[in-house]
Chain A
């Protein structure tokens, strides 16, 4: 990257962040953390590029359903809950009128899991080359390993 960015308190201003995420949801907190972080970055006008690979490619499966909870557990679980994909979709839309967020799913990982043709609108099926372009173009890179 060109080093002519404004300096803030001795540190380079961050304009673009790459996030590498490799965990799916429902048994992990990492996607929640990434989405919360992405929201705050977008609010501050920072461009966010998410590279989703391994289990993370299922986060943008368009066929996620807001299912009903088992009847006997509804008093404690509630009637239903929104799937993670809904929040990703809303963050992608939020980026339409401010700092943008790109969400790229690894084509190899998506094919392995049968979700390549089921990606939601806004998610881009990409290659490992996109990963390294995101990394190379970022002021900051945040990578969350698969075991988190």
Chain B
């Protein structure tokens, strides 16, 4: 076999050395850095895009959070306005009903006073009438006019007796 012919060793070893070193130089200095750069570039792009996606997601999350915060704030604001309006209306209604009640109480009091006055007036009239009636009764029975002072005193006594 030609494989075991030592005379053929040196040319093969020489060219092996030469071509292998050449291939090593070409791989190490040209081919591998190129392929490595392509792979690194791709990895960098992928990482970049992932970073960008993560950043956009964070921005979107922040926007959602801000929106929800604004929503909550305006909701709270609306609640406050509603509560204030309700309070104000309740206070006004309260005041008005209190004023109305006072007014009504006034009316009732003046009405009672008028009633009391009318009652007093009526009572006074009753005495006059009673005195007149008694005077005419005495005049008819006795035939002459009764003593006015005595009449008044007995009418008063009779009222007092009745009043008890």
Do A and B bind?
no
